[in-house]
Amino acid sequence: MSSEPTSIILSEENESTKPKRLPRSAKKRLRYERIRQKHKETPKKKKKPKSSHHHLSLELPISSDDVSTTQNISVTGKTFKRAANDRLAEINQESTAPAICIDCAYNEAMSPKELASVARQIGRCYSSNRRAQKPVKLILTNWSHDSPLAEECRRVTNGFDNFQIILSDKSIHESYPTERLVYLSPNADKQLTEIDEQNVHVIGGLVDESVKKNMTYQACQDKKIVCYKLPIETYMEHSIAGGSFNQILSINQVFYMEHSITGGSFNQILSINQVFDILMTYMATKDWRQALKANIPERKGWIVKNIPDSEENKIKTD
C-alpha cells in the first residue's frame, strides 16, 4: 500500500522538472536576441570615409624648346576626364596627328540589335583612345546626327554628344585623298605589315552577325581604295586548345591586334573595338605580336608564333 503513493509522487516530480518544448516563434526570438547581443559585444570597425572620386593615372605630354617627354600624374576621376578630353580636343586640331576612322556607311545593312552592338563598340573605342598613352584622332564618317546609329550611341553611352570624336557626314573618299586611305578588311588579300601614321586607317562600322560577306572589301574595290587585313596569319597560329577560329574584330581591335586561333572556322573577323585596340597597341609598341596577343581573346583560338628576329625583319621588308 505504501509503495503506490510514492510512485505517483515521483512521477509528478519528474513531470514538473522536465523542460518544456518552446514554440517555434519563441526559438526564433531567442536566436535573434543571441545574434543581437553578439553584435553589441563585437567592437565596431571604423568605416573609412568614401572618396568622392577614384584616383587614376594620366600620362600628359610635356614639351619645352628642345625636350619632349611625358609626365605621369595621379588625378581624380573628374579631373582625369577633363584632362583627357582636353588632350583629345588638342589632338583633333593637329593636322599631322594619326587618325583612325570608323566608316558608318553600313547602317541599312544591320538590324537594330546589330546597330546597338556597333554603338557599344564605338563607345569602347573612345574609352581606349581617352586612356591611351598615344591617342589618335577618332573619326566617324558617313555620320548622320538623327540616324538610328546616332540614337543608339546616345542611348547606350552616357554623354556621347560631348565626346571628342570628329563626326563627318561625308564619305571616307570625300573626306581624304584616296592615296592616304588604308581600309582594314578580313577579306583582303594583302596583310598590313607596317602602319604609316600619315595614312588614315579605316575600320568598317558593322558587326558580323548577319552582314553579307566581303561587303567592306567590295566597297574598297569599287572606290579604288587600298585594302589590307591584319597580319594574324603571319604572327599567330591555331592553338591546340580549340576555339572558334573567329578572326572578326571590333572597331577598336582592328588597330591593336593580330590573333591566333585554336579550332573553329578560321574566320578573321574581329569586333570594331578589338581592331581599334590592335592598331593603337601597334602604334605604341611597333610590335604586332604584342598588339595581337593583348587584344585578341583566347577563345578565338589563336596563339602567337615564335618567329626568329631575322625572319620577322624579312616579313617587314617584303
Predicted confidence (pLDDT) at residue 59 exceeds the cutoff of 90: no
Residue of 111, 262, 261, 250 lying closest to 184 (CA atoms):
250
Together in a domain, 66 and 164: no
Model pTM score: 0.69
The CATH code of the domain that includes 187 is 3.40.1280.30
Assess if residue 196 is contained within a domain.
Answer: yes
Contacts of 101 (CB under 8 A, 6+ apart): 139, 140, 141, 172, 175, 200, 201, 202, 203
Assess if residue 205 is contained within a domain.
Answer: yes
Least confident residue range of 2-11, 104-113, 152-161, 163-172: 2-11
Together in a domain, 174 and 201: yes
Predicted confidence (pLDDT) at residue 151 exceeds the cutoff of 90: yes
Together in a domain, 268 and 178: yes
Predicted confidence (pLDDT) at residue 170 exceeds the cutoff of 60: yes
- Residue where a domain terminates, one of 93, 118, 149: 93
Assess if residue 80 is contained within a domain.
Answer: yes
Q: How many domains does the chain have?
A: 2
Higher local confidence (pLDDT), 200 or 50: 200
Higher local confidence (pLDDT), 89 or 6: 89
- Residue where a domain terminates, one of 46, 75, 93: 93
Higher local confidence (pLDDT), 264 or 133: 133
The pLDDT-based confidence of 176 (bands split at 50, 70, 90) is: very high
- DSSP E strands: which ranges in 221-297? 227-229, 236-238, 246-248, 267-270
Predicted confidence (pLDDT) at residue 208 exceeds the cutoff of 90: no
Together in a domain, 227 and 99: yes
Q: Over range 146-163, report the average pLDDT.
A: 95
* Domain encompassing residue 109: 94-317
Of all residues in the chain, what percent carry a pLDDT higher than 70?
A: 69
Together in a domain, 88 and 200: no
pLDDT value at residue 257 = 40
The answer to whether 141 touches 101, Cβ cutoff 8 Å, is: yes
pLDDT value at residue 48 = 61
Together in a domain, 216 and 254: yes
- Residue where a domain terminates, one of 38, 69, 93: 93
**Mean pLDDT taken over the chain:** 79
Cα–Cα distance measured from residue 294 to residue 258, given in angstroms and rounded to the nearest whole number: 9
Residue of 213, 296, 209, 217 lying closest to 253 (CA atoms):
296
- Planar angle of CA 87, 144, 115, nearest 5 degrees: 90
Contacts of 296 (CB under 8 A, 6+ apart): 232, 236, 249, 253, 257, 258, 259, 260, 270, 274, 278, 302
Together in a domain, 88 and 168: no
Cα–Cα distance measured from residue 186 to residue 267, given in angstroms and rounded to the nearest whole number: 8
Assess if residue 231 is contained within a domain.
Answer: yes
Cα distances (Å, whole numbers) of residue 83 to 15, 40, 50, 96: 82, 48, 23, 21
Q: For 108, phi and psi rounded to 5 degrees?
A: -70, -15
pLDDT value at residue 23 = 82
Together in a domain, 126 and 271: yes
pLDDT value at residue 155 = 96
Assess if residue 74 is contained within a domain.
Answer: yes
Together in a domain, 79 and 108: no
Predicted confidence (pLDDT) at residue 26 exceeds the cutoff of 70: yes
Assess if residue 235 is contained within a domain.
Answer: yes
Together in a domain, 161 and 83: no
β-sheet bridge partners, residue 183: 202, 227
Predicted confidence (pLDDT) at residue 68 exceeds the cutoff of 90: no
Predicted confidence (pLDDT) at residue 158 exceeds the cutoff of 60: yes
Residue appearing with cell numbers 563626326: 167
Assess if residue 29 is contained within a domain.
Answer: no
Predicted confidence (pLDDT) at residue 219 exceeds the cutoff of 60: yes
pLDDT value at residue 308 = 66
Question: Mind listing the pLDDT tens digit for each residue in 228-266?
Answer: 999 999 999 877 655 554 555 555 445 444 333 333 444
Together in a domain, 58 and 197: no
Assess if residue 13 is contained within a domain.
Answer: no
Question: Mind listing the pLDDT tens digit for each residue in 300-313?
Answer: 778 888 876 656 65
Together in a domain, 146 and 220: yes
